[in-house]
Structure 1
Amino acid sequence: MRYSGVMGQRQPLPDLWLLSDARNDELLPRALRGLPRGSAFVYRHYHLDPRARRARWDELLPLVREGGHLAVLSGSDDEAVLWGANGSYGPPEAVGDAPQLLRVAAVHDGHEIAHANAAGADAAMLSPVFETRTHPNAVPLGPEKFHALAALAEMPVIALGGMTFERAKELGWMRWAAIDGLALKQDS
């Protein structure tokens, strides 16, 4: 992993990753406070216009920092640096070369994993593992295909798509991300 993190020190990747979405926006402050210290937050909020998107980021960032979480912005490396993020998130072809950032590639198949490998991504978020409300018509990978694809990655893989604590145990995968599975849980 190329990402060096704060003060140039190598940082381990968090196990839990909360992704933002229009449907969990109201719950984000509580969800961020409920995450274990040192988790990660991927800010997407594609539903907002650019000005409102930045304003919501600025509201949430202090909570992310209070929890000692990584702040990852869905967007370009330049935008992530400008916004004060720890990392960028996007398709493998958009993985940049900013050594101060954690670069997370969103992948769905072997072709995209190969692109993430070639781009030198620091992590890959592989989805959808299980049925998910985000992509109701997508065919989920399921545990067997997920593990086969994850084995192709030359970087740590984060499971996404219908993930919950129970599903992570079922999958046998400790590094995972969710929208509803973390934002909607009542207690940490």
Structure 2
Amino acid sequence: MRSTPEHPPEHLRATVGLRVDLIDTPALVVDLDAMERNIQRMAEFAHKHQVRWRPHAKMHKSAEIALQLEKAGARGHCVQKVSEAEALAAGGVADLYISNEVLAGAKLLRAARLAAQLAARGGRLAIAVDSEEGITRLAEAMRVAGSDAGIDVFVEIDVGQGRCGVPPGPAALALAQ
């Protein structure tokens, strides 16, 4: 059989069991038994301690793995960027939290549209803010998108790293109100 782009020769295929030195990067390589064991342990821990478990998808960036985590009891997923939320939503994930502040108008408009899409299928979108400007821009994007779906807004608190977040105390309370 002649090789084609759809049917490359064996040594050019990414397959289960491929030697590590032949794997093209970036690639997600999973020890399935270890992953399933870790998911089960985390689910048991969260259940035992009555914790709502919302894993961050930055390591796997995979809707399939996110759905497997949900099946084990995860309560949605965190992402850093609007594009990551869109990708997981396209793969069937319905409860997403963008855990980074978004100020760019075009990205906020995409988030507003995504919130409407998720709400239409019983899902939910949340986003972090750490300024009045962030809230104002998000509200404007929701208005422009014509979305009344709602977005959960989480006030990010600076826990001492000085990277982002509003200082704890009166400033955080004022922003939340």
Instruction: Name which structure has the greater RCO, CA cutoff 8 Å, separation 6+.
Output: 1
Higher CA-based Rg: 2
Q: TM-score, normalised by structure 1?
A: 0.47
Q: TM-score, normalised by structure 2?
A: 0.49
Q: Of Structure 1 and Structure 2, which has the larger fraction of its residues in helix?
A: 2
Q: Of Structure 1 and Structure 2, which has the larger fraction of its residues in strand?
A: 1
